[in-house]
Amino acid sequence: MSNSAPTNRRPVFVVGCPRSGNTLMGCLLDKHPDFAVFFEQSTFYSLQTTWSEHVDSGADPRESFADVALQGLAPWLEQQSCISLPRDEVLDVLGQVEPCWPDLLDAFMRLQMRKAKPGASRWGDKTPQNVARMASIVEAFPQARIIYVYRDPRHSVVSLSNPSFPHASDDELVNAEVVRHYQRVYEQQKQQVPPANLIEVRYEELLDDPPTQLARVCSFLQVDFDEAMLGDVDPEVAQAIGWVHYKGWQKIRPQPSARTIELRAETQARLEPLLAQLGYDYRPTSARTRLRAQALTLPFRGVNQLLNALWRVRHPSAGDLFLKDLPSWSDYLRWVIPHSASTRA
């Protein structure tokens, strides 16, 4: 099913490495009256891949879209007392548009937007892994806007390694490789995205001067800056979007980004090329430490390369697989069998 490439739709996608400020940016946009940005719906990273594979196997495009979307969003919908997406209603909305990917996704996201935030006019998706599908996003929606949020990679590693965050490895060296992988994928995808569709936001600058940075983002999105972005969110909006207790719904307050970073020397060594690329100050480690770091991370890097090769064979259009740890045998099987793209690494 080819793209219809609608030019009058301007969705917003917030991407970047986890624990780098993506969710905060999504919250800030949701405070703007024009936007309804939903969290972790993986519209392109998993939904499009799974839907395309079902359609290629002969499934009805609209029926398959409804099934894949509602199944993928089931855990999210269970937490949203004010959102109801009955399958019949979804199919009714999908029946009013062409059975191609951009039209179906736009219709479905607009349905969510009407229920979650009726006054909004533009929908969005905050999913870190969508960084691997930026070219596909712009192909489907030429007027889409992508916001890439990045942060001092040392702080991202510290945050990923915090025991209170269960969705990453306990090994900070592995988390350093995860951060490096996201940046590599971003740089690859960036080459395929027109500059007019993409903006980069430095997390620390956003915290230091929210009005200036948010005005810059609003200019990029071609909307007027709204002072509401600097305050607390409407509780009904937070409930409809999700993650009700996340601190980003409140006014921007000083974050722990200025605290002392305590990482292993080997972890620092793995992050040095990225620190230099992104313009963060650091004290170089020794050549011996860098060699040791390479050796210690070899198992994870090797598995990552192998699984990504298998992943691309099974799911050619899915983009990179983002590992969060050394996987189990059951993970191997889930990730390489057909129609498994909705499984999150």
Confidence of residue 79 (pLDDT cuts 50, 70, 90): low
Half-sphere exposure of 122 (CA within 13 A, CB side): 23
Tens-digit pLDDT profile for residues 276-300: 999 999 999 999 999 999 999 999 9
E strands of the chain, at which residues? 12-15, 35-39, 122-126, 145-150, 198-202
Query: What integer best gives the mean pLDDT of the chain?
Result: 90
pLDDT class of 7 with cuts at 50, 70, 90: very low
What pLDDT, on a 0 to 100 scale, did the predictor assign at position 298?
95
Q: Which 3-state string (H, E, C) describes the chain? A: CCCCCCCCCCCEEEECCCCCCHHHHHHHHHHCCCEEEEECCCHHHHHHHHHHHHHHCCCCHHHHHHHHHHHHHHHHHHCCCCCCCCHHHHHHHHCCCCCCHHHHHHHHHHHHHHHHCCCCCEEEEECHHHHHHHHHHHHHCCCCEEEEEECCHHHHHHHHHCCCCCCCCCCHHHHHHHHHHHHHHHHHHHCCCCHHHEEEEEHHHHHHCHHHHHHHHHHHHCCCCCHHHHCCCCHHHHHHHCCCCCHHHCCCCCCHHHCCCCCCHHHHHHHHHHHHHHCCCCCCCCHHHHHHHHHHHHHHHHHHHHHHHHHHHHCCCCCCCCCCCCCCHHHHHHHHCCCCCCCCC
118-130 pLDDT per residue, tens: 999 999 999 999 9
Q: State pTM to two decimals.
A: 0.92
Q: What percent of the chain has pLDDT over 70?
A: 90
| Residues 223-282 pLDDT 10s | 999 999 999 999 989 988 888 888 899 998 766 555 567 899 999 999 999 999 999 999
Instruction: Give the pLDDT of residue 260.
Output: 66
The whole-number pLDDT of residue 253 equals 76
Among 47-51, 150-154, 215-219, the least confident range: 47-51
Evaluate whether 36 touches 113 at the Cβ level (below 8 Å): yes
Residue 342 and residue 345: Cα distance in Å, rounded? 9
pLDDT for 301: 95
- For the chain, the distance separating the N- and C-terminal CA atoms, rounded to the nearest angstrom, is 27
Over residues 14-54, the pLDDT tens digits come to 999 999 999 999 999 999 999 999 999 999 998 999 999 99
From residue 215, alpha-carbon distances to 24, 37, 151, 210, 326 in Å are 15, 18, 19, 8, 41
pLDDT of residue 1: 42
- Cβ 322 vs Cβ 132: under 8 Å: yes
pLDDT at 344 > cutoff 70:
no
pLDDT given at position 84: 86
Q: What is the pLDDT of residue 290?
A: 97
